[in-house]
Amino acid sequence: ATRARGVGLATGGRMQSTSPPKAPDAYRFESVGEGLSTRDSAKVAWPHLAPARFTHPLDTQATRALKRLPFAEDLVRRGFGGMVEQAIYLDNMSNSVRVGPKQLPDIYEMLQEAKKILGLESLAVDIFVRQNPAPNAYTMAMQGQKPFIVLHSSLISLLSKEELQAVIAHELGHLKCEHGVWITLSNILTVFASQLPGNLGRTLGETFSASTLRWLRAAELSCDRASLLVAQDPRTVVSVIMKLSGGGAAFGQDLNPEDYVRQARDFEKESERSWMFRRMRDALTSQLSHPLPVERVRELDEWSKSADYRELVAGGTPLSK
């Protein structure tokens, strides 16, 4: 099974340009010049949040297609996927530190609040902290017997508390959407297709593989949106992506999320200058499981200013502690 890795360095449709409805004063947005949209109020939650409210269109489309396959979901949940989940869970139990009310309690509280915001309060999720010099986080992205999230120790050292909660929210987004179930199934179909004889198998295998990678990239965009739903300040999520691209504790306050958004826009302009630049951009991304960091930032910036996001926030309920 392919783990739905959340915060690697790692595009899909843009939101339609419509005039957003005016949000109530309690959920007022501010525009920071030409930069990121922010909000200046207490957080809200969505106890009954459906994944379709925040998933990227390509992610939604691919998931719906696979859900139509008879018995496919049970095959992954009760068979291969379940065994892999148990094996990786046991590995983390033996080689990592499990977070709880008395073990790294700040991280535990971040998880509980993020679950409440995303409507996952009833889902028991373990968090493990694992010693690793590469800042990353991942989950099996399956609401099986033992749902879990793994945070690398270097990630915790790199990020602020707000940023770390945004990472946890990203991984909860994978769990909310159960990307592990559907992407595992897509990988199985790719393997079967590639085993067909002759050029047909090779062609189908390459086509399925490319489609799965496009889906993986769209799934990451969905989970960046889940991060935003929990952080409720796009600067926090942009800062995570920026630090994973080229950050460090020594930089302190010198890293500027809004300038990184401008960099993302400049990249888009440069890559659209000619067909050759567009081909170069596509070549950079075609074999990646995650979108380019600047593309993630641009997509997140656009969604944070969309009518869909504003309607979600306006319809949320005040977060109770």
- Judged against a pLDDT cut of 90, whether residue 320 lies above it is answered with no
Structure confidence at residue 75 (pLDDT): 75
Two structure tokens written together for 293: 């960091």
**Active-site residue flag, 171:** yes
- At 33-66, the pLDDT tens digits run 355 665 556 899 999 999 999 999 999 998 888 8
- At 295-310, the pLDDT tens digits run 999 999 999 999 999 9
Question: Residue 1: which of 76, 61, 58, 68 has the closest Cα?
Answer: 76
Structure confidence at residue 12 (pLDDT): 34
Q: How far is CA 154 from the centre of its chain?
A: 19
Contact 166, 231 (CB under 8 A): yes
Question: Residue 206: which of 219, 188, 193 has the closest Cα?
Answer: 193
Structure confidence at residue 69 (pLDDT): 79
% of the chain exceeding 70 in pLDDT: 86
Structure confidence at residue 18 (pLDDT): 32
- At 213-237, the pLDDT tens digits run 888 999 999 999 999 999 999 999 9
Strands (E), the chain: 4-5, 29-31, 37-39, 44-45, 97-98, 126-130, 137-139, 148-152, 317-318
Two structure tokens written together for 301: 């910036």
- At 86-110, the pLDDT tens digits run 889 999 999 999 999 999 999 999 9
Catalytic one among 85, 113, 163, 171? Answer: 171
CA distance 178 to 55: 12
- Judged against a pLDDT cut of 80, whether residue 168 lies above it is answered with yes
